[in-house]
Amino acid sequence: MIKNTYLKKSLETLKLKHPYEEEFHQAVFEMLEALDVIINEHPEYQKYNIVERLLEPERSISFRVAWMNQKGIIEVNSGYRVQYNSSLGIYKGGIRFHPSVNLSILKFLAFEQTFKNSLTPFLMGGGKGGADFDPKDRSDEDIMRFCQAFMSELYRHIGDELDVPAGDLGVGKREIGYMYGFYKKLQNRFNATFTSKDPLYGGSLARTEATGYGLVYLSEQALKTILKTDFKDKRVIISGSGNVATHAARKVIELGGKVIAMSDTSGYIYNPYGLNVDSIIKIKQDRLGLEEYVKSFENTKFNASKEDIWTLKCDIALPCATQNELDEVGVRALIDNGVLLVAEGANMPTTKAGIDMLRRNKVVFAPGKAANAGGVLVSGLEISQNHQFYSYTFEQVDTILTTSMQKIFFDIYETAKKYNKNNDLLFGANIYSFNRVARAMIAQGVI
């Protein structure tokens, strides 16, 4: 419950202006709930109306994407780019291709991205974009045609000193390559306007691994600092089986943990002795479902209800699939089974009720804006490398990623402790990131 009158009014105004943007409301409420604790210590935030200014993106762009598929049929999709806040630097955030994409989801993602980026050592504001195009089961030719049509509008709104997109759900190296190639043709310039590129033409080594690895690096530091333990011999369940989930799984195993379950849209697989991540990666590269895995590995079960993955007994849970996938029912099952740590690899995968339950039961919870910041952190590093016309080695990037994720942990851990919210990493992440963005906004005047 938010008590401060200014914060309550700001939230009420937001809901009246944008009544149907539920994901955005959820992200904003989480931030304002933390601010409620400190707002009276910062009268300047109300004086400069920082909260209401932050509840409106600086720019929301929507456009039609009309394109002809390889069969000669004209299709129409909706495209978007939300340039949320630039007080700390260029707009930075991914492009998502998925049927669920709409302005509400992109606003919440861009809002979260603004604060996530502020936790990194790079000067980046927040943005997010995408389209309601579904690349699943599409040919390479259709995907290229769509990417070029999408870029024929978006190109005029981005640039390496303005807005630098990256990959996200449904957008990998293939899609980035098609978009960046067409952007170069339209602009007649080769620059750092896209990240998540292939290393062949400017992408950073370790970028593919960065979000999953970073999730585990921050989780490992939380385990050591708060619980005086580590990943060794811990049972870990990971929702999802995409890029973030599989690389998180690899790092967990490298650190001595045992990944016992993973999921995809068809269900989840479970093996109490541990899963073979390389085989899972091969299955997903072949665009098959996880039910294929059980054909080759004994002691593995497939369950068609992916939500039931949270009922498995584990020590650590890493939700890495999509927003609001871990609800109160799933959290209750995790707690009953003795979970020690829940760390978010996806953006807002835990519902508000689920988060509240984790905090009440003193389960260590690492929110996505901190825990999955590794991807954008290495994207910032990719921009730096492009401007230097130089590529760092995998080991150099991984070292920077490790130390940066550890610093993010200690920044939010110490912030929580300062306000007597010991071990509340969600509170620490919200307050540390908000203070950094707010101070920059105040310093730059009313713009």
Active site (annotated) includes residue 116: no
Catalytic residue from among 116, 128, 197, 234: 128
3 state SS for the chain: CCCCHHHHHHHHHHHHHCCCCHHHHHHHHHHHHHHHHHHHHCHHHHHCCHHHHHCCCCEEEEEEEEEECCCCCEEEEEEEEEEEECCCCEEEEEEEECCCCCHHHHHHHHHHHHHHHHCCCCCECEEEEEECCCCCCCCHHHHHHHHHHHHHHHHHHCECCCEEEECECCECHHHHHHHHHHHHHHHCCCCCCCCCCCHHHCCCCCHHHHHHHHHHHHHHHHHHHHCCCCCCCCEEEEECCCHHHHHHHHHHHHCCCEEEEEEECCEEEECCCCCCHHHHHHHHHCCCCHHHHHHCCCCCEEECCHHHHHHCCCCEEEECCCCCCECHHHHHHHHHCCCCEEECCCCCCECHHHHHHHHHCCCEEECHHHHCCHHHHHHHHHHHHHHHCCCCCHHHHHHHHHHHHHHHHHHHHHHHHHCCCCCCHHHHHHHHHHHHHHHHHHHCCCC
| Residues identified as active-site | 128
